């Protein structure tokens, strides 16, 4: 794919691409629903909430019919798979069953909040549940558009290459898990909050980044892993303060600040577990308590994932799950090559966790090395060094990058890509060994290195001319397959 907009128009181009990609996915979804019969026809069922205290305040009397019943039916038919839980939680104003606590509250709260403004206007036409569905669709698709914008801004800072950053963002706009970003799922909100947090993180706004990371943990449980970026930064800054600057007090302050920010990121998820414990365990007789309530550390989320969905280390390694491993193999392969390629190209940086990266390269980084020590180094030495050490990068076989001297490497080989690669490696290993492996397609779809590496490959058509076509074919196939299967209640990732 060749992209020609000038750099100053890239953000506008991205917003249009993100919007067009959502329109494409929604159009395919509607088309497949018309042409195919759903596997499960229970989507329109709307059972009464268990409690009277819920947000269903604009229900029409049974004697009154909807003004737009076909539109109402179309919206409610889109409430499939996990969407059922998100809409139900928003509709009933809380968590009615133990297994529903697997679905974190940010998306249901957002749906409930928006529907309060829309229901008085639209409920007479389509009913309250359809308004909830529309609210969910609106939130998720708008969040995706802004997530794409933040990914581009993040990529520009990290890669320092407008064309590769643009291509990586366009790949995200048409990623293989696109159907989930246009459905009532938490992927869009999580991507927006994670990319925004990472953008402000690399810009030096750690407090604002921590807020976005904490909110991402309210959307998806893996949002707490974003605390790893703060820990990585803290580790390097504390090391530099202690051993380079010989300032023990600064090192201690750095560790305390990093720990507080990490705790802040974990706090919403921990608070939600406490909320579940209070609702499910407090005030019950001993023989009524669920097994997890009696545990020394009562983690509701872990119990639900294991008990209801069979999630656990190597639990999915069964012969009958081979088709699901094949379904996840493309994204896992891209993730594996992303990590291995970086490790082979930057072995010293990778295996030392960045501690053996040169001062010159660290000073140009933006993730974990923007402290006063490296600013002074940059002002004193690096600027002059960069003027005299312009290096030409020549590329050979896969995994080899030859440079005359250890100057700052551009793009995907930059030192500041390392924490992103390590984060991807942990996510991919978790998806492969612990989770339902087919979920890896959407689980890894919000990891920037997947798109950065793919964009790097596509930027070198003479070397990897076939892989660019393979990546686009993979994305297109999963967009079409996902919109067909998922929208009609058939299994897909």
Task: Please give the distance of CA 96 from its chain centroid, rounded to a whole number.
Answer: 27
358 near 405, Cβ under 8 Å? no
The confidence band for 48, taking pLDDT boundaries of 50, 70 and 90, is: confident
Residue 190 has pLDDT above 60, yes or no: yes
pLDDT for the residue 469: 87
pLDDT for the residue 455: 93
The confidence band for 462, taking pLDDT boundaries of 50, 70 and 90, is: low
Close Cβ partners of 280 (under 8 Å, ≥ 6 residues apart): 98, 101, 290, 293, 300
Give the C-alpha separation, 153 to 175, whole Å.
Answer: 18
Give the C-alpha separation, 244 to 116, whole Å.
Answer: 56
pLDDT tens-digit profile of 315-363? 999 999 999 999 999 999 999 999 999 999 999 999 999 888 755 555 5
Give the C-alpha separation, 217 to 271, whole Å.
Answer: 11
pLDDT for the residue 22: 97
The confidence band for 466, taking pLDDT boundaries of 50, 70 and 90, is: confident
Task: Please give the distance of CA 136 from its chain centroid, rounded to a whole number.
Answer: 17
Burial code (b: 16+ CB inside 10 Å, e: under 16) for 87-97 equals bbbbbbbbbbe
**Any bridge partners for residue 394, and if so which?**
402
Residues above pLDDT 90, as percent of the chain: 68
pLDDT for the residue 397: 35
The confidence band for 42, taking pLDDT boundaries of 50, 70 and 90, is: low
Task: Please give the distance of CA 65 from its chain centroid, rounded to a whole number.
Answer: 41
Q: What is the dihedral sign for C-alpha 182, 184, 185, 187? A: positive
Residue 296 has pLDDT above 70, yes or no: yes
Single pTM value for the model: 0.89
Residue 387 has pLDDT above 80, yes or no: no
Please count the CA atoms within 13 angstroms of the CA of 30 that sit on its side-chain side.
Answer: 11
Give the C-alpha separation, 130 to 122, whole Å.
Answer: 9
pLDDT tens-digit profile of 149-184? 999 999 999 999 999 999 999 999 999 999 999 999
Residue 403 has pLDDT above 50, yes or no: no
Q: Give whichever of 42-46, 407-411, 412-416, 432-436 has the largest mean pLDDT.
A: 432-436
Residue given tokens 């490296």 in the structure block: 374
187 near 177, Cβ under 8 Å? yes
Q: Which residue has the higher pLDDT, 326 or 42?
A: 326
The confidence band for 375, taking pLDDT boundaries of 50, 70 and 90, is: very low
The kind and range of the H/E element at 394 are strand 394-395
Residue 384 has pLDDT above 80, yes or no: no
Give the C-alpha separation, 309 to 106, whole Å.
Answer: 22
Residue given tokens 């803290």 in the structure block: 234
Rg (CA), the chain: 24
Give the C-alpha separation, 291 to 323, whole Å.
Answer: 33
The confidence band for 288, taking pLDDT boundaries of 50, 70 and 90, is: confident
Residues above pLDDT 70, as percent of the chain: 84
Give the C-alpha separation, 457 to 484, whole Å.
Answer: 29
Taking all residues of the chain, what is their mean pLDDT, rounded to a whole number? Answer: 86
What six digits make up the tokens of 118?
Answer: 């829309």
């Amino acid at each position: 794919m060749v992209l020609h907009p000038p750099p100053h128009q890239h953000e506008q181009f991205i917003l249009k691409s993100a919007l067009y990609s959502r329109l494409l996915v929604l159009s395919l979804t509607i088309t497949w629903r018309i042409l195919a019969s759903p596997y499960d026809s229970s989507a329109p069922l709307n059972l009464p909430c268990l409690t009277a205290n819920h947000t269903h305040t604009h229900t029409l009397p049974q004697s009154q019919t909807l003004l737009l019943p076909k539109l109402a039916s179309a919206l409610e038919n889109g409430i499939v798979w996990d969407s059922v839980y998100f809409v139900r939680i928003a509709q009933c104003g809380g968590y009615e069953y133990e297994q529903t606590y697997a679905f974190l509250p940010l998306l249901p709260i957002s749906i409930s909040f928006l529907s309060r403004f829309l229901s008085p206007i639209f409920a007479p036409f389509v009913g309250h549940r359809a308004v909830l569905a529309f609210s969910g669709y609106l939130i998720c698709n708008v969040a995706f558009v802004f997530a794409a914008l933040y990914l581009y801004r993040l990529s520009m800072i990290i890669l320092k290459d407008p064309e590769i950053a643009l291509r990586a963002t366009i790949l995200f706009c048409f990623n293989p898990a696109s159907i989930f970003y246009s459905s009532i799922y938490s992927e869009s909100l999580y991507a927006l909050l994670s990319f925004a947090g990472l953008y402000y993180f690399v810009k030096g706004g750690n407090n604002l980044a921590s807020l976005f990371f904490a909110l991402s943990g309210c959307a998806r449980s893996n949002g707490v892993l974003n605390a790893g970026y703060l820990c990585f930064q803290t580790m390097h800054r504390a090391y530099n303060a202690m051993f380079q600057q010989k300032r023990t007090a600064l090192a201690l302050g750095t560790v305390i600040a990093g720990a507080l920010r990490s705790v802040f990121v974990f706090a919403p998820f921990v608070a939600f577990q406490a909320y579940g414990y209070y609702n499910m365990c407090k005030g019950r007789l001993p023989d009524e308590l669920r097994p997890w309530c009696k545990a020394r550390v009562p983690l509701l989320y872990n119990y639900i994932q294991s008990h209801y969905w069979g999630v656990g280390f190597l639990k999915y390694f069964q012969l009958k799950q081979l088709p699901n491993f094949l379904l996840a193999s493309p994204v896992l392969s891209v993730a594996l090559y992303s990590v291995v390629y970086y490790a082979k190209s930057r072995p010293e940086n990778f295996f030392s966790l960045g501690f053996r990266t040169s001062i010159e390269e660290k000073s140009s980084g933006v993730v974990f090395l923007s402290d006063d020590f490296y600013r002074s180094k940059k002002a004193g030495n690096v600027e002059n060094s960069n003027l005299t050490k312009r290096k030409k990068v020549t590329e050979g076989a896969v995994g080899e990058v030859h440079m005359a001297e250890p100057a700052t490497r551009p793009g995907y080989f930059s030192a500041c890509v390392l924490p992103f690669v390590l984060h991807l490696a942990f996510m991919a290993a978790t998806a492969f060994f612990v989770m339902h492996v087919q979920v890896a397609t959407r689980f890894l779809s919000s990891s920037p290195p997947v798109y950065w590496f793919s964009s790097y490959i596509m930027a070198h058509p003479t070397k990897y001319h076939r892989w660019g076509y393979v990546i686009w074919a993979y994305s297109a196939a999963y967009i079409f397959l996902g919109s067909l299967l998922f929208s009609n209640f058939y299994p897909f990732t």
